[in-house]
Each structure stands twice: as structure tokens, then as C-alpha cells.
Amino acid sequence: MSDITHLLPCPEPVQLIAADGTAVESSEQARERGYAMPEAEDLLAVWRAMVIGRRFDAQATALTKQGRLAVYPSSRGQDACQVAPVLALGEQDWLFPTYRDSMALVTHGIDPVEVLTLLRGDWHCGYDPQATRTAPQCTPLATQAVHAAGAAHGLARRGTDALALCLIGDGATSEGDFHEGLNFAAVFEAPTVFLVQNNKYAISVPLAKQTKAPALAYKGVGYGVRSEQVDGNDPAAVLAVMRAAYAHARAGHGPVLVEAHTYRMEAHTNADDATRYRTKDEVDGWTGQDPIVRLQAYLVEQGHLDDARIEEVRAEAEELAADLRTRMNAEPTVEPLELFDHVYAEPTPQLREQREMVRTELAGTATAAHGSTQTEDAT
């Protein structure tokens, strides 16, 4: 029987900074895997990106209430999982996000307005996937796991050292595409890193009703995938674990599955009533594990961060939020016939027929409106 200990995750989630902001001694297994405290400069970059990302998240949530977005899935509370993995990526790497990963896209350098374009429903994808090396945000659960594995396999066949990061939620691990993606990546040793952001609920379904596994990280072992679990509200631990996962995949050793234990502070989306399936005490308990507060306390205690820098970054975040408000409040110019562009490289007969039907309806509406204007002018 082959030794599979190298595939197994640490028995307890890797942690480097406790909830109160103090450094903790990691487990022996974590130290053996090289999960050391990142440099202060790197932690400051993660802290800044989380502050900016959370302000973006709050502004996007407000835009839904103002009718500027059709829907918005907040990632407040999952800030460390959104920011640290993206900052650790190389310029050549690819990112495969879910619908909840808007904060990750902003951290990745994508224009916030382009990120939110999809969520207000006026374009297929608001950014250029090829230019940004970022796949469109994925709404169907786990389908991006297969896409990421395939893309990573292609990157390896081209002789590059690039990898694909696939962000998924705990609910996606109940889908077949998740398992197919893991199996494909393992068999072909595709440089793919799967990050499961276990926020405890698949919409309203708690984790206990999805799996009996001791942790989602163990699901990788059955496919021969090296696996790990980390405190997803500890930015330092997330950064350290993800860097190690990237190094493993980039060195040609195959994929890695990382489970980050975190929590979604807001409702599933603005259309969800989270009070129907979780208690206020539960939410309050996770509030005390806030990743931004945790890292900020550590950096201040270590002398790497002061009040002046904190206020400077907060002001920067407010400026970005104000700019986002201004640009999102401008009415977009929408061309309805663009709905049919980029569906197929060669439009099908059905698609051409549908496009012509819409074009005819638009022409009729325009003619009717023009006629009504002429009547009003005559009177």
C-alpha cells in the first residue's frame, strides 16, 4: 500500500495569527510544510487590499439597494480568502472565480466598474478574460473547476510555469464538476490550485447537510491530490499556505486542494434572508474573528502599522468608493442586439432568427415612438 501521508491535510486548520491578533506557534506538521509567517511588507499589502476590498464590497452592496445592480453576493468576512491568494499569483497565472469573488477581481487589478458590469446585467462579462487572465465570473456551481483544470493542463503542455487558481465555495463540492475537475487535474498533473472557501452555508444549506467528511480538504485525497486546510480568517496563514500550494503545482507535482475555514457575514445575496437559517449569536461569534481586525492588530503590535497609515488607507478606500459610485450612477449605453454577440463563433440559424426577431421588434418600437412624437408636435 502506497504512503499517502503527503496528501493528507494538517489535522487542524493552519493558523499563524490568533483572533486577537497575537502570533501563534503553528503545528509541527505545518512547520514541516514550510508555513512560516510572511514578511511584514507582504502582510501590509494584504491588509491594504482587504481594507480597500471591503469598502468596495460595502459600496457594491449599497448599489443593489439603489437599483444600480440586479444582484450582489457579498464576500465580507471572506476577505483574507479573496485577497491573499490573488496577491500571491504570478502575472502569467490564470484566475477562475465564482459569482462571489468580486473582491478578488478588484484585488487582481480589474476595474471595479468592469467587475460589476455582469451583475447589473448589461454585458456578458465586463472585462477582457484574455487580457486579465481571468475567466468570467461563474454562476453555475463548480463548472469552473473543470475549466481551470483544462486550462492548467494546456498551460503545462505549452511549457509554461503558469498555473490556474480555481475559487469555489463549499456548496460546489457537492457538484459533480468539482470531482471531475479534481480527478482530471490529478491524472494529468495539471498545475491547478483549488481553493474551497468554506463559509459554512450553500445558500441556506449548512455544511452538515452536505457532507460527513471530517473536513472538505480530505476530498482531495481520494483523487491523489495533495490537500490542506487553513484558518480562512487568518490572512497570514492563508498567504503562507497558498504560496506553498502554488510552489507545489508550479514545480510539476500536480494540483493542490486547499480548504479555507471562513464565514459569510452578509446574506447569500441581497435577495436572501439569512435570519431564516442562522442565528444572530452565530454571526456575532464570527464577527470576533474578523480577518482585517486580526491582521491590523498584529501589524500594529509588531510596530509595522500606525494610526496615520491606517487613516491614509481608509481615505484611499473612500476615494475609490466615491469614484465607483459616480461611474455606476451614470446610465450605461446599451445596445440590445449585442445580446447575441459572442454566444457562438459562427451564429446558429436559431440565434440568427432570434436576433432578427429582436431587431424587428426594436425597429417597430422606434417607429411607433417616432410617430407619437410627430402627433404631439402637430397638436
Quick one: DSSP state of residue 158?
T
pLDDT for residue 2? 64
pLDDT for residue 245? 98
Query: Average pLDDT over the chain, rounded to whole?
Result: 94
State yes or no: is 248 an active-site residue. Answer: no
pLDDT range class, residue 1, cuts 50, 70, 90: very low
Q: Which residue has the cell 482585517?
A: 292
Short-list 63, 96, 75, CA closest to 178: 96
Q: Is the separation of the CB atoms in 115 and 185 below 8 Å?
A: no
Whole-number Å distance between alpha carbons of 235 and 242: 10
Q: Is the separation of the CB atoms in 10 and 228 below 8 Å?
A: yes
* CA angle, 259 then 260 then 262, to 5°: 140
Q: Which residue has the higher pLDDT, 375 or 310?
A: 310
Region 171-185 average pLDDT: 97
| 315-353 burial: b if 16+ Cβ within 10 Å, else e | eebeebbeebeeebeeeeeeeeeeebeeeeeeeeeeeee
pLDDT for residue 58? 98
pLDDT for residue 260? 98
pLDDT for residue 334? 82
pLDDT range class, residue 150, cuts 50, 70, 90: very high
Q: Which long-range contacts (CB under 8 A, 24 or more apart) does 241-245 make?
A: 241/14, 241/35, 242/84, 242/85, 242/88, 242/193, 242/195, 243/38, 243/88, 244/33, 244/34, 244/35, 245/193
What does the pLDDT look like over 335-345, one tens digit per residue? 889 889 888 99
pLDDT for residue 54? 98
pLDDT for residue 27? 87
From the candidates 218, 277, 278, 304, give the one annotated as an active-site residue. 277
pLDDT for residue 41? 98
Instruction: Answer whether residue 185 shows pLDDT above 70.
Output: yes
pLDDT range class, residue 169, cuts 50, 70, 90: very high
Region 287-313 average pLDDT: 98
pTM strictly above 0.75 = yes
Instruction: Answer whether residue 61 shows pLDDT above 80.
Output: yes
Quick one: DSSP state of residue 235?
H
Instruction: Answer whether residue 372 shows pLDDT above 70.
Output: no
pLDDT range class, residue 366, cuts 50, 70, 90: low
* CA angle, 198 then 52 then 95, to 5°: 50
Whole-number Å distance between alpha carbons of 282 and 262: 13
Short-list 129, 122, 71, 70, CA closest to 97: 129
Region 159-187 average pLDDT: 97
From the candidates 55, 243, 261, 268, give the one annotated as an active-site residue. 268
Short-list 246, 231, 129, CA closest to 193: 246
Note the helical H segments in the chain. Answer: 28-32, 40-65, 79-87, 102-107, 112-117, 129-132, 143-157, 176-187, 235-250, 280-287, 291-301, 307-328, 349-378
Quick one: DSSP state of residue 138?
B
Read off the C-alpha cell for 17: 495569527
What does the pLDDT look like over 115-145, one tens digit per residue? 999 999 887 789 999 999 999 998 899 999 9
Q: Which residue has the higher pLDDT, 124 or 242?
A: 242
Region 225-233 average pLDDT: 98
Distance of CA 45 to the CA centre of its chain: 18
pLDDT for residue 179? 97
pLDDT for residue 122? 81
Read off the C-alpha cell for 21: 491578533
State yes or no: is 48 an active-site residue. Answer: no
From the candidates 120, 264, 294, 298, give the one annotated as an active-site residue. 264
Q: Enumerate residues 6+ apart whose C-beta is below 8 A from 354.
A: 340
pLDDT for residue 368? 63
State yes or no: is 108 an active-site residue. Answer: no
